Structure formats: structure tokens, C-alpha cells
Amino acid sequence: MTTLRVNVLPRAPPVLPLVAALLSAWPAAACLAKEASWQPVRPQTRSHAAAAISSVDNCNDAGAGSLRNAIEIADDPAIIDMTALACSTITLTTGKISTNIVDITLNGPTDHALTISGNHLNSVFLHSGGLTGTLTLDHLNIADGEVTGFVAYGGCIFTAGNLTLQNSTVSNCAANGMYPGRGGGVYVRKDLILNDSSVSDNHASSQTEQAVGGGAYVIGTLTVNRATIRDNIAFSGGSISIGGGVYVKGNVLTYATTISGNQAQYAAGIYAFSNATVQNSTISGNVASTAIGGMKVKGLLTLDNSTVAFNTQTRAGYGAGLVLLNGGIANSSIIARNKPKGDGHYYDLLCTTGKTLAGNNNLINGADCIIPGSLIGGDPLLAPLANNGGPTKTHALGAGSPAIDEGSNPHDFLFDQRLAGHSRLVGAAADVGAFEFDDAIFSNGFE
């Protein structure tokens, strides 16, 4: 084994004992074997079969027929039905909506977007149903919440239990603390699930202490499926800021997801305090004002068929893309084009001394890490992050990229990050990274 600092090591056979050991230690990787059967790990909730349905009849802030009133009079467990509303916005003018219902689901209309706005006066939802409770939002946009005080947790949503977002967004929210500011968009004391959803343009700030989790602060597990976490910011005027996109104390599982454009002093994209599994996903363009533009993982990392690129940091040295404190496994992934600002060299990956990144068929430009598996060198010829089809943005591979037909598909994924209609295998072998190049499509002018 050698310590890679730049360029490429000779190909070597897979380190199967280490891979097996890591998979044994981190079973989530096996659970994500095929997207056809993969389902997000969900918190334990009560059956909706026993839930009473309360309908919302108008878009008023309060009073009979309003969302606030429907929640106030609902039994536990509850389903709040907003599917018949014709309006596009419910603006909260008398403060946040609070509930201690353990399990509550809010269903919005499916034929048009419905936004619940905090009107920059307070947060939007305070769910105090306990650690076993779950707040579920489906087809709703939550926006313009703002919490300001000595401590500020959850700019738009605070839940004492679990939060599930389905086909929903959380945006333009802020947690501004004199002391800690945590979870600019959401603060979750248990598990957060994002399905077909986005967390964007949120801010966590502190005047004197740490600002943590610009988009989300999660104490439990984060599960992200076909979702986007982008353009969130954590900023502290008197201490440090961590996790511009998300800060997670539990495990992280992402699939077909893009984490981009987030900002913080450290770990601008995502800070994973435990293990992390990233598959068919992209971590791109996150900016650290000091160090670790992309992602920091304190536990074990599993990185499959993913792209980590164009993340930046101010500090010189390795780790602009990924910093791994306990190593991990990477297969058929691109970790490239990550660098300190103003530096022409690429410093993509940093591992704690003596730690190993196992796996094969990876394209890595520069690293300070023990990497015994097969590597590919060169410029991956990544196009800018764009809508190339599918639910999330990706980096297309340019014609002639060394990543084309040099990857693998260890979990037999049917599709690349763009999912249906975009095969994971085109040509002699899978491509390296989250995107599968199809020269027939690009020759016809489709991008």
C-alpha cells in the first residue's frame, strides 16, 4: 500500500477482506443494493388507518376552516387534508403553528404548488410530539420562517421527533442566534427523510457561538432520496460555522441526490458525525471559507457511482472535496477538480493518518490517503452542473473523458443518478461517477 498524493497508482485487485469488513460494520451499504428494491429507512409511526382526517377549507391564517384551526382540533394521530385548496399561499400573520400531536401528516394539493409562509415573523411549524413522533409534509412548500433570539433552532421547522418531507421544499428560512444558531431550514431531534424534495437558500447564523447546519441540523439519521440540498449557508460572527448544507449526528444515506452551492467555514456541503453512504449522487460546488468544501465524515464512508467535484476551500492542502477520519470504500466514483481557491492544483481527498480508502475504478486527481485499489487519472471533462434529465442536477461527462467505460456497477444499479430512462450501463462498462455518457443522445443535440 502506498500513500497517494497526486496522479495514479497501478491497478491492483480489489481488497475484498477490507470491503467485506467495512460492509459488515456498515450494513446500510448492502441495504442499498438496487434502486428497484431500495426504500428509505423510515421512522416508526402509527398507522394512518387509525388517523382522523381533518380538512382545511380556506387559506386564512386562523379561524374556522383554517390550517391552524384544523391542527388545533385534530386528534392523534392526524391527517390534515389541504388537497382541495385553490390558493397558492397560506401566510401566517399570528406566529408559528404549534402542535403536540405525536404523529401528524399534512397533505397539500397535487395539481399546483401550495406555500405555507412564516412571513419572516417566526418559524412555520413547532412539532413537540416527542422523540417517537413524526411530522410528515407531502406536496407542500415551507418558506420565509425566521427565528431570532439568544438561541435559534429551526428557522422554518422544529420537531422534537422525526420529520419526513415528500414532494416538498423548505426554503428562505433563517435561524439567527445571539448564541447558537442551528438548522436554518429545519431542526430535527430524531430522523429526517427527504424524498423527492429540496432544502435550499436557508441560513443558520450566530453572533458569538457556533452556527451549525445552514439547511438542516439532524440529531438522528438523514435519509435522502432523489432530492436536492443547495445554496444554504452557516455563518458565525464570533466562532465557527459547520455544515452549510446539513449537519448530521447520526448516519447519512443519500441516493440520486445533489448537494451543491452550500457555504460554511468548515464542511460546507455536509458534516457527517457517524457513517455515510453516498450512492448515485453528486456533491459539487460547495464553498468552505476555511476547509473542507464538500464533505467531512467521522465514521466510515461508502461512496458508489458518485461524483465529488468543484468544491473549494481557502486553506491550502488536501481535503477540499472529502475529509475522512476513518476511511471507507469508494467504487466507480469521481473525486476530482476540488481545490483551494487561487491554487492551480487539485487537493481532492484527505484521510486521517493510516486510514484507507478501499475500492476500485475511481478517478481521483489528488489525495493524501492510502488507496490500494485501481485508479484512473486525468481530467474527467465534467460539464457544469445542469439539468441533464431526471430529478436532480448532474455533471455530464464530455466526449473523450477517461471516466467513460472505465467504471463498475457493484450494486447492479439499473440507472445513473438521473434514474428512469438513463441506463447505468451504456457501452462496454459503466462509466465512473454519477452520470452515464451516451454519445447517441449527445450527437442528437440533447443535453
Q: Assess contact for 38 and 31: CB atoms under 8 A.
A: yes
Within its chain, how far is the Cα of 350 from the centroid? 21
Query: Each residue of 36-94: pLDDT tens digit?
Result: 334 444 433 444 447 899 999 999 999 999 999 999 999 999 999 999 999 999 999 99
Average model confidence (pLDDT) across the chain: 89
- Tell me the one-letter amino acid at 147: V
* 424 contacts: CB under 8 Å, gap ≥ 6: 305, 409, 413, 414, 415, 416, 430, 436
How far apart (Å, rounded) are the C-alpha atoms in residues 57 and 12? 65
DSSP string, 182-205: E-SSEEESS-EEEES-EEES-EEE
Q: How far is CA 363 from the centre of its chain?
A: 22
CA–CA gap between residue 229 and residue 212 (Å, rounded): 15
21: CB partners within 8 A, 6+ apart: none
pLDDT in tens, 87-130: 999 999 999 999 999 999 999 999 999 999 999 999 999 999 98
CA distances in angstroms from 35 to 20, 39, 226, 406, listed in the order given: 21, 8, 11, 22
Rounded CA-CA distance 328/269 in Å is: 19
Residues 187, 217: Cα–Cα separation, whole Å: 5
DSSP 8-state symbol, 308? E
Q: With contact defined as beta carbons under 8 Å apart, do 190 and 219 qualify?
A: yes
**pLDDT digit string (tens) for 365-396?**
999 999 988 999 899 999 999 999 999 999 99
- CA dist 398 and 395 (Å) reads 9
Report the alpha-carbon distance of residue 65 to residue 56 in Å, rounded: 5
Whether pLDDT at 447 is above 60: no
**pLDDT per position as a tens digit, 157-214:** 999 999 999 999 999 999 999 999 999 999 999 999 999 999 999 999 999 999 999 9
Distance CA 307, CA 273 (A): 21
Please state, in angstroms and rounded to a whole number, the distance separating the CA atoms of residues 66 and 347: 54
End-to-end CA distance of the chain: 41
Alpha helices (H) in 26-100, listed in sequence order: 28-31, 67-73
pLDDT digits (tens, 9 = 90+) for 347-358: 999 999 999 999
List 204's β-bridge partners, or say none.
175, 234
- C-alpha 233/C-alpha 173 separation (Å) is 11
Consecutive H or E run containing 441: helix 439-443
* In the chain, % of residues over pLDDT 90: 83
Whether a cis peptide bond, with omega within 30° of 0, leads into 77 is yes
Q: Could you tell me which of 117, 181, 114, 171 has the C-alpha nearest to residue 147?
A: 181
In this structure, what C-alpha cell is assigned to residue 396?
A: 455530464
| Residue matched to cell numbers 465529488 | 308
Instruction: Give the pLDDT band (50/70/90) at residue 217.
Output: very high
pLDDT for the residue numbered 440: 58
**What global pTM score does this model have?**
0.89
Of 42-51, 142-151, 219-228, 423-432, the one with minimum mean pLDDT is 42-51
Residues 200 and 230: beta-carbon distance below 8 Å: yes
